Amino acid sequence: MTSLIEVRDLKVGFRLGDQVHEAVRGVSFDIPANTTVALVGESGSGKSVSAMSIVRLLPDNAVVDPASRISFEGRDLAKESPEAMRRLRGKEISVVFQEPMSSLNPVMTVGEQIAEAILMHLPVSAREARDRALELLNEVGIPEPRARLDAYPHELSGGQQQRVMIAIAIACEPKLLIADEPTTALDVTVQRQVVDLLAGLQERHRMSMLFISHDLALVGEVARQVIVMRHGVVREAGDAQQLFHAPEDAYTRALLACRPRLDTRPLRLPVIDDIVNNRPLVTEQRVSPPPSGEPLVRVEGLRKAYQLKEGLFKRKVIDAVRGADFDLHKGRTLGVVGESGSGKTTIGMMLTRLTQATGGRILFEGQDLATLAGSALQPYRRRIQIIFQNPYASLNPRFTIGQVLMEPMRIHGIGADDNDRARLALGWLEKVGLPAAAFGKYPHEFSGGQRQRIAIARCLTMQPEIIVCDESVSALDVSVQATVLNLLLDLQQEFGLTYVFISHDLAVVKYMADDILVMNKGEIVERGSAEQIYADPQHPYTKQLLAAIPRGIQHAAAA
């Protein structure tokens, strides 16, 4: 099979002060013509650095070893001039990045941005470029493409923005498309649409694709060949199905085993070290505790409406949540699933009173939280806490970890003095698996998984009874995700915590939840036990969500 790209002995480091830290160490791989190759690995594995080295889009402090060779149709890209690379990028090799809102220009219309890519590389008129932009919007499945041509990025949904990025990338019919985590931030149904779109475009245009992801189930649906990376080196490479069904490297087996499965629910998820070190895996299945006694919280007719201006005098009312009814039982987990805009996060925000409900009741031990304010609400804030999605944004970067943990205790009068609060904070750090040395450090000194552990510790300082987990593991690698999920289950068992687990990752919800609410357009369309919902979904929307779960691999045996 003819190779379009040949990467040989790629070594890349980053200069930090007087030192150069190695990110990629002697990586070699090929991308054949008209084939999809996947680069797989956790954050920091070097997969994105390897891909960006091909198009020379590395930061200024990057240091590429002169002996490294990247050949594109016989041309050594490492020796091409900056001007030659500018002509090549977008025309011969294009990139679709992870976050479309960071990649699209907010002050240019969609049509202008697609046309700009065409005019830069092809000898066409502005009118021809605009007509081609319209064709591309239609090809990538944007609804009402003629109307969207003059829309700005903020007027489109996340999935539509990513489709626009794909339209820009294929505008000049490149020979290689690099898709760098293109579906990470998308809902499961939108993710399915984007993956199907990329696979269809790759086949129709007969181009090669380098698909970068940490989700092996997703990779198995699009790639013919897979390269597994860790710590800057290639651990395993080969045919996708062969690699997934009979992985040779322990790290590959670990990545496959860490992902929650739909057919089993062990007491603990395996983590990387379990597989790499050949530890015996937990096979005992987790059984949901039966509801006991009266519900801890009873929600009745919960509603949240927003008023939007339409013209000078008119107002339009949009219901984010309509008529939600559900119970929370002590020690159990309620999963809330649905796409973006379904209202699931709004429910969590109303439960914690970070958003005021428009109507309905939230009965906690007979007290309606929806009617409380000020000092009357303060004791209940302690008892219902929230873990947010993004651990990078939810921690104050100017506070040490000790200050992050002690501040809420000080506000709520927990602990006799700061010495007592520091002692309590150190205890919670130990509980979530962080060393005492973390107390004096700042958030930027920790990885994403460690920051999420800190966010969990901050919740626990309040000694809550209910914790709302709002997409709290969606930004994490599968291995880190497994570690955090195990921690949440350990804490639930030790302290009898009740969770509201909000997520668009249905495999994770299946593993964590005892009961599930399925939300669509602000309404609960289906409810039941986790086993019941997954085994026999009744509502068409639930069936659509379940059908969109990536099933590109059958889980390989961890042994």
**Percent of the chain with pLDDT strictly greater than 90:** 67
Residue 556: the pLDDT is 42
Higher model confidence: residue 358 or residue 480? 358
Per-residue pLDDT tens for 50-86? 999 999 999 999 999 999 999 999 899 988 999 999 9
- Of 23-32, 95-104, 230-239, 457-466, least confident by mean pLDDT is 95-104
CATH of range 1-81+208-246; options 3.40.50.300, 3.20.20.70, 3.40.980.10, 3.40.47.10: 3.40.50.300
Starting at the edge strand found earlier in the chain, the sheet holding 498-503 runs 384-387, 466-470, 498-503, 333-337, 515-520, 523-529
- Of 38-42, 233-237, 291-295, least confident by mean pLDDT is 291-295
The yes-or-no answer to whether 1-81+208-246 and 332-359+369-547 have a common fold is: yes
Residue 512: the pLDDT is 95
User: Burial level of 557, CB count in 10 A (0-12/13-18/19+)?
Assistant: exposed
Give the residue extent of every domain in the chain: 1-81+208-246, 332-359+369-547
Residue 475 predicted with pLDDT over 80: no
Residue 472 predicted with pLDDT over 60: yes
Residue 185: the pLDDT is 64
* Contacts of 542 by beta carbon, 8 Å cutoff, 6+ apart: 518, 525, 526, 533
Residue 309 predicted with pLDDT over 80: no
Residue 544 predicted with pLDDT over 50: yes
* Contacts of 123 by beta carbon, 8 Å cutoff, 6+ apart: none
Helix (H, G, I), strand (E, B) or coil at 407: helix
Residue range 332-359+369-547 in CATH 3.40.630.30: no
* Rounded distance between C-alpha atoms, residue 541 and residue 537, angstroms: 9
Please state, rounded to an integer, the average pLDDT across all residues of the chain. 91
- Of 282-291, 397-406, 456-465, 506-515, least confident by mean pLDDT is 282-291
Per-residue pLDDT tens for 201-243? 999 999 999 999 887 878 888 999 999 999 999 999 999 988 8
Residue 531 predicted with pLDDT over 80: yes
Mean local confidence (pLDDT), 150-154: 92
Residue 552 predicted with pLDDT over 70: no
- Of 7-16, 166-175, 362-371, 468-477, least confident by mean pLDDT is 468-477
Residue 449: the pLDDT is 83
Residue 272 predicted with pLDDT over 60: yes
* Rounded distance between C-alpha atoms, residue 298 and residue 451, angstroms: 32
Residue 313 predicted with pLDDT over 80: no
Residue 129 predicted with pLDDT over 60: yes
For residue 294, the tally of other CB atoms under 10 A from its CB is 11
Query: DSSP for 314-344?
Result: EEEEEEEEEEEEEEE-TT-EEEEE--TTSSH
Per-residue pLDDT tens for 343-354? 999 999 999 999
Residue 261: the pLDDT is 85
Are 228 and 234 contacting, i.e. CB atoms less than 8 angstroms apart?
yes
Per-residue pLDDT tens for 332-341? 999 999 988 8
Are 334 and 524 contacting, i.e. CB atoms less than 8 angstroms apart?
no
Mean local confidence (pLDDT), 427-436: 92
* Rounded distance between C-alpha atoms, residue 159 and residue 394, angstroms: 25
Per-residue pLDDT tens for 487-519? 999 999 999 999 999 988 888 999 999 999 999
Residue 359: which of 314, 320, 316 has the closest Cα?
320
Per-residue pLDDT tens for 251-270? 999 888 888 888 889 999 99
Residue 296: the pLDDT is 94
- Per-residue confidence band for 558, with pLDDT thresholds at 50, 70 and 90: very low
Residue 203: the pLDDT is 92
Residue 22: the pLDDT is 93
Higher model confidence: residue 132 or residue 159? 132
pTM of the model: 0.85
